[in-house]
Chains A and B, each alone.
Chain A
Amino acid sequence: MEQALEYLAFSPPGWGGNLLRGLASTLQIALGAYALGLCLGLFGALGKIYGGPVTRWGLEIYTTLIRAVPELVLILLLYYAGTDLLNTALESFGYERIDISGLWAGIYVIGFVQGAYSTEVFRAAFQAVPTGQIEAARAIGMSSFKSHTRVVIPAMIPFAIPGLANLWLITTKDTALLAVVGFSELLLETKQAAGGTKSYLLFYSAAAVLYLLVTLCSNVIFGQIERHYRRGQPAQT
């Protein structure tokens, strides 16, 4: 037991500090990826609803492919293809190649995948907004842009929140897949700590506890966000 506490200590020779650094990395990647996913999802949903046939068709392919192929395959493909494309583009413009650090590659890769899922969440949320509200906004003379920013998007948010909360949890757990690719985040640090000390049960359990803490805190936060945005609305049955 004392050895377990010794291994988990924050400063060397305890590995606790490493695990917490990994957790910080995980949260950074998750936040960045989630934000990217939200942006892509918002524009994707708008594109699917208002876009022309080409836009809609392209977005349909994007969302279907991403949701049909396992994340692990997507992460590897996007990592190599994405950095390759970026560098080819830069070289053709005469710039030097840049190297994306693991952190930003992780954000880009997971964010791109989350974008497909959040497109569907936002699309369902947009379509749940009562059309009466949109018509009323146009009737009093608001431009399309104004009616969207002042009426549609705020009305859409309460419908989107449960789906978005779910996506956040999925994002945090998807970051663990980056360990298979070798990016430094919590699970990779755990694997290295477990391998270094041979205390596999201890460290994998510690990692599970840390992820669980993130989930529980997120649930509380999202519960409060949902309550804020649902104020004034009839209670859910």
Chain B
Amino acid sequence: MEWYWLPEYAPRFVEGIWLTLQLLVLAMFFGMAIAIPVGLVQVTGPRPLAWLAKSFTTLIRGTPLLVQIWLVYYGLGSLFPSIPGLRESFLWPILRDAFPYAVFALTLSVAGYEGEIMRGAFRSVPNGELEAARAMGMSRFTILRRIWLPRALQNVFPTLTGEFILTLKATPLVSTITIYEAFGIGTIVRQETYRIYEPLLLLAAIYAFLTLILVVIFRYFENRIPKRAL
């Protein structure tokens, strides 16, 4: 095993890990923000919106993330030349850089998978609690804010930990669209030094370590959620 290349590339790995974390947090944040309405509308209705939400989750969960990423980046990118004036518009800096596409694709992915989980979570809140809140005179939005959403999130918290980690493991795929997060830097090292195992082992260690940290953080929060006495 040769590790002579490590000091030279260490700063770039740090940058890459930071990029990975940025992608992870942004995708989870925006993804959950979309997932909550997607899950909710399938339980409450109206029917057309519920059908739309269902199609969305089926589409996202039925296709590989890599296909989604390439479709968004290269597929949409191939439409650009046919839109006049695009390059002078204010959108151009966003459309030109690869990072927004990565966040977008990962967000949609999180929204699709979490939407399905939130659907189950909303359904799992006991009807009795919702009825009691209604009987007390709470408006529908207040019920959602005070009872339904918090209870749904509590029920589903352990699963969310797993999903966070799955999203972390999905971030390497964005290295295929010129984003140099941790895996991308590892690829550069593999190509410039021709070492086969060492960069991959370092990457495995990095991701295992990040996973460990995430699990510890989530376990801390999980212990703070009040559990049912029964």
On A, residues with C-beta under 8 Å from B are 65, 67-74, 76-77, 80-81, 169, 173-177, 179-180, 187, 190-191, 194, 198-201, 204-205, 207-208, 211-212, 214-216
How many residues of B sit at the interface, in one of the four size bands? 35 or more
Asked whether B172 lies within 8 Å of A72 as measured between CB atoms, the reply is: yes
Say yes or no: B173 contacts A72, CB within 8 Å. Answer: yes
- Contact A204-B207, Cβ < 8 Å, known A76-B200, A176-B64, A215-B62: no
The answer to whether B204 has its CB under 8 Å from any CB of chain A is: yes
Question: Which B residue's beta carbon lies closest to that of A199?
Answer: B78
Q: Identify the stretch in B35-43, B67-75, B131-139, B220-228 within 8 Å (CB) of chain A at 4 or more residues.
A: B67-75
B130 at the interface (CB under 8 A from A): no
- The smallest beta-carbon distance between B191 and chain A, in angstroms, is 13
Q: Does the CB pair A81–B197 fall under 8 Å? A: yes
C-alpha gap A199/B173 in the complex (Å): 22
CB neighbours of A77 from chain B (8 A): 197, 200-201, 204
Q: Is the CB of A173 within 8 A of B70?
A: no
B residues neighboring A (CB under 8 Å): 58-59, 61-68, 70-71, 74-79, 165, 168-173, 176, 183, 186, 196-197, 200-201, 203-204, 207-208, 211-212
CA distance A214 to B76 in the complex (A): 24
Residues of B close to A215: CB separation below 8 A: 58, 61-63
Among residues of A, the one whose C-beta sits closest to the C-beta of B214 is A68
Closest 4 CB pairs between A and B?
A215-B62, A176-B64, A173-B64, A201-B75
Asked if A212 and B59 make an inter-chain contact with CB atoms under 8 angstroms apart, the answer reads yes
The prevalent SS among residues of A at the interface is: helix
Contact A198 B63 (CB under 8 A): no
Knowing that A80-B196, A173-B64, A200-B74 are A-B contacts, what are 14 other residue pairs whose CB atoms are under 8 Å apart, sorted by A's residue number?
A67-B165, A69-B169, A70-B207, A173-B65, A179-B66, A180-B66, A187-B64, A198-B78, A199-B78, A201-B78, A204-B74, A205-B71, A208-B59, A211-B63
> Out of B63, B79, B176, B211, which one reaches A212, CB within 8 Å?
B63
CB-CB under 8 A from B61, the residues of chain A are 169, 215
A191 to B173: give the CA distance in the assembly, Å. Answer: 15
Partner of A71, one of B70, B79, B169: B169
Tell me the smallest distance from the CB of A113 to a CB of chain B, in Å: 11
Chain B contact surface mostly: helix
Cβ of B95 to closest chain A Cβ, rounded Å: 15
Minimum CB distance partner of A174 in chain B? B64
Which of B67, B169, B186, B197 gathers the greatest number of chain A CB atoms within 10 Å? B67
- CB-CB < 8 A to B62: which residues of A? 169, 211-212, 214-216
Contact residues in A for B168 (Cβ distance below 8 Å):
70
A164-B169 Cα distance, complex, nearest whole Å: 20
Q: How far is the CA of A72 from the CA of B175 in the complex (A)?
A: 11
Q: Which residues of B contact A177 (CB under 8 A)?
A: 64, 66, 173
- CB-CB under 8 A for A187 and B204, given A198-B78, A201-B76: no
Q: How far is the CA of A205 from the CA of B59 in the complex (A)?
A: 12
Give the chain B neighbours of A65 by CB distance below 8 A: 204, 208
Task: Tell me whether A204 and B211 are in contact (CB under 8 A).
Answer: no
Question: Can you show 9 pairs from A to B with CB atoms below 8 A apart?
Answer: A73-B183, A73-B204, A176-B66, A187-B66, A200-B75, A204-B67, A204-B75, A205-B71, A214-B62
What residues on A are CB-neighbors of B186 within 8 Å? 73
Given contacts A73-B183, A80-B196, A200-B74, contact A211 B67 (CB under 8 A): yes
Contacts of B204 in A (CB 8 A): 65, 69, 73-74, 77
